[in-house]
Amino acid sequence: MSGLMTLADDSGLEVDALGGEPGVMSARYAGQGATDEDRSNYLLAKIADVPWEKRTARFKCVIAIAIPGQQIRLCYGTCDGYIAYQPKGTNGFGYDPIFYFPELHRTMAELTFEEKNGVSHRGKAAHQAHKLLVKLP
């Protein structure tokens, strides 16, 4: 142990039609060495016959803040949407081009950096973490 305050985060995509896959395996979903495009295409192939109303999904993020001598604090963020039929957009990374965000009628990869930070799972978890961190002595 370092004895220092430590912050760690993890995130993943859960697709309801796949029983929550890829979940914690999001980065390794299509196998070792797969690219973001490979993972997206693998996921799209697995749900190719799933109708729109059953393509619900969510991004989840957890940020853990460990402070020596204190209980670990967890900050959560989720972002609900749908898995699009095909990739669209060039902003972002990972599954962003196939994650359709209904409130803004675009995929995450079509949102600006500012828009994405306002609605994303990471942005929500980071906002909670910021609120905790600024209160520290």
Active-site annotation, residues: 10
Give me the sheet containing 73-83, strands edge to edge: 22-23, 6-15, 56-66, 73-83, 99-101, 106-107
Strand partners, 82: 56, 100
CA dist 104 and 33 (Å) reads 32
